[in-house]
Amino acid sequence: MKKYLCEPCGYEYDPAEGDPSQGIEPGTAFEDLPEDWVCPICGLGKDVFVEA
Protein backbone atom coordinates (compact mmCIF):
# COMPACT_ATOMS: atom_id res chain seq x y z
CA MET A 1 0.00 0.00 0.00
CA LYS A 2 1.12 3.53 -0.79
CA LYS A 3 2.20 5.99 1.89
CA TYR A 4 0.89 9.55 1.91
CA LEU A 5 2.60 12.71 3.08
CA CYS A 6 0.97 15.73 4.72
CA GLU A 7 2.64 18.53 2.76
CA PRO A 8 2.23 21.29 5.38
CA CYS A 9 3.74 19.42 8.35
CA GLY A 10 5.55 16.37 6.93
CA TYR A 11 3.52 13.66 8.69
CA GLU A 12 3.55 10.41 6.73
CA TYR A 13 0.48 8.18 6.82
CA ASP A 14 1.64 4.57 6.57
CA PRO A 15 -1.25 2.14 5.93
CA ALA A 16 0.75 -0.66 7.56
CA GLU A 17 0.61 1.28 10.85
CA GLY A 18 -2.77 3.00 10.54
CA ASP A 19 -3.45 5.82 12.99
CA PRO A 20 -4.01 4.40 16.48
CA SER A 21 -4.52 7.91 17.90
CA GLN A 22 -7.77 8.15 15.92
CA GLY A 23 -8.80 4.49 16.02
CA ILE A 24 -7.60 3.65 12.49
CA GLU A 25 -6.55 0.01 12.32
CA PRO A 26 -3.26 -1.10 10.73
CA GLY A 27 -3.83 -2.14 7.13
CA THR A 28 -6.27 0.71 6.38
CA ALA A 29 -5.55 2.21 2.96
CA PHE A 30 -5.48 6.00 2.71
CA GLU A 31 -8.44 5.85 0.32
CA ASP A 32 -10.44 4.01 3.01
CA LEU A 33 -9.90 6.61 5.74
CA PRO A 34 -13.10 8.39 6.80
CA GLU A 35 -13.70 11.67 4.97
CA ASP A 36 -13.50 13.54 8.29
CA TRP A 37 -10.10 12.04 9.20
CA VAL A 38 -7.45 14.69 9.87
CA CYS A 39 -3.68 14.69 10.18
CA PRO A 40 -2.82 13.76 13.79
CA ILE A 41 -0.02 16.35 13.85
CA CYS A 42 -1.47 19.51 12.29
CA GLY A 43 -5.20 18.74 12.08
CA LEU A 44 -5.59 19.41 8.35
CA GLY A 45 -7.75 17.21 6.14
CA LYS A 46 -6.99 14.51 3.58
CA ASP A 47 -6.91 17.08 0.77
CA VAL A 48 -3.43 18.31 1.78
CA PHE A 49 -1.87 14.84 1.50
CA VAL A 50 0.15 13.67 -1.51
CA GLU A 51 1.55 10.27 -2.45
CA ALA A 52 4.93 9.79 -0.79
Cα–Cα separations (whole angstroms), residue 1 to 4, 15, 16, 20, 51 = 10, 6, 8, 18, 11
Give the bridge partners for 51, in sequence order.
4
pTM of the model: 0.93
Cβ atoms of 18 and 27 within 8 Å: the answer is: yes
Tell me which residue range forms the domain holding 46. 1-51
pLDDT digits (tens, 9 = 90+) for 1-52: 899 999 999 999 999 999 999 999 999 999 999 999 999 999 999 999 999 9
Whole-number pLDDT of residue 41: 98
Q: For the domain that residue 10 is a member of, what is the CATH number?
A: 2.20.28.10
- Number of domains observed in the structure of the chain: 1
Cβ contacts of residue 48 below 8 Å, gap of 6+? 6, 7, 8, 39
